Amino acid sequence: MVIIMEVNANDLQIKNVIEQIHLKGLKPHISTGEERTIIGVIGDDRKLQEANFKTLPGVENVFRILKPYKLVSREFKRDSTIIHINGVSIGNGHRVVIAGPCAVESGEQILKSAQIVKSYGANILRGGAFKPRTNPYTFQGLGIDGLKLLQKAKQETGLPIVTEVLEASDVELVSEYADILQIGTRNMQNYQLLKAAGRIRKPILLKRGMSATLQEFLMSAEYILSEGNQQVILCERGIRTFVEYTRNTLDLNIVPVIKKLSHLPVIVDPSHGTGRTDIIIPMSLASLAAGADGLMVEVHPEPEKSVSDADQTLSPAQFGELMEKTKKLINIFN
Ligand code: PEP
Ligand code: MN
């Protein structure tokens, strides 16, 4: 349920509504706009009567959001969310390019990667320190040492960093280093992790589960927002289909559909979405044309030496070409 306060509602009237919500055993979510305050009711509000709130002083309107996701929906928040990270903005026309290797392999590798992607105009550096690998016998990431190397690369280049967190118990640790915490496809429905991510105050990059429906994807984001963290960036990264010529099928349909249903920024990862360097550039351009607020791509100083995902990792020259074409396309939009 959403309670819209009158433009001139005073603090006492707002406090009263909040108290009434608490009395029903539910949680209020207060969003203070320039004009008016909107109060969302979080929890199972099925037993609440709109009429109980409509008659309270200072209340203009009360309505129910019928979809199961509430806080992420455009019904709850009409204006697109913009996320600010160290001078970089994402959402509502602010587009970003996140680039870097699949995994942090060494100090030299991540620093070189950072310098390369920065020189071509990337806004944010990526690199996995904790890697969720399908095969337990392959490289699992450098862990905390990897986080420290990312931090060093950030200090040297000024690029904010995004890195994956695999477990709820690591959220605090990773948030000490990362500017954005990534939750990967395999963890999109790890509810303990989502809740822990909801309790911190850093942006979360939530990747779509490889078999997740649109609704499941948005419900996972709702977990994060319902814990109080409003800064979620959604990321389409391809889904499992019957096709065998790509690693995954990049579902670009979801971009404009999410934009309709949700105020959250949406980016696309054509690296994992295709698994093939030869089609990353066209699919990146297609993602932006579909309305994505940015891209996340894997880039390595020497892709053939990449310890993971070498087949989908762009070389510095390929990344340069991608950035050149991306800038031209964005100029058309602007
Ligand atoms: C990644 O971006 O490093 C990653 C592991 O991606 P995904 O979770 O989409 O497979
Ligand atoms: Mn990868």
Backbone φ and ψ for 128, nearest 5 degrees, come out as -85, 130
Q: Report the top-level CATH class of 2-63.
A: alpha beta
Maximum distance among all Cα pairs of the chain, rounded to whole angstroms: 67
Instruction: Kindly list the protein residues whose Cβ atom lies closer than 6 A to any atom of ligand 1.
Output: 102, 128, 132, 164, 184-185, 207, 237, 269, 272
Q: Quick one: pLDDT at residue 321?
A: 98
Give the position, in ligand 1's atom list, of the atom nearest the Cα of 208. 9
Query: How big is the chain, counted in residues?
Result: 334
Task: Say if domain 83-333 classifies as CATH 3.20.20.70.
Answer: yes
Q: Is 303 in a helix, a strand, or coil? A: helix
* CA 99 to ligand 2 centroid distance, Å: 11
Residue ranges per domain, the chain?
A: 2-63, 83-333
Q: Quick one: pLDDT at residue 315?
A: 98
Domains 2-63 and 83-333 share a fold: no
Q: Among 125, 140, 164, which is best to mutate for testing ligand 1, by the most ligand atoms less than 8 A from CB? A: 164
b/e code 1-38 from CB counts within 10 Å (16+ = b): bbbbbeeebeeebbebbbebbeeeebebbeeeeeeebb
* CA 307 to ligand 2 centroid distance, Å: 10
Question: Using the 8-state DSSP alphabet, how is residue 138 labeled?
Answer: S
Q: Quick one: pLDDT at residue 14?
A: 97
Distance between start and end Cα atoms, the chain: 37
Q: Quick one: pLDDT at residue 44?
A: 84
Q: Which parts of the chain have pLDDT scores under 50?
A: none
86-107, pLDDT tens digit by residue?
A: 999 999 999 999 999 999 999 9
228 CB-near residues (< 8 Å, 6+ apart):
198, 199
Give this prediction's pTM. Answer: 0.95
Q: Is 67 in a helix, a strand, or coil? A: coil
Separation of alpha carbons 65 and 86, rounded Å: 34
CA-based nearest residue to 275, from 185, 165, 203: 185
Q: Quick one: pLDDT at residue 66?
A: 87
Which ligand gives the minimal distance to the CA of 313?
Answer: 2
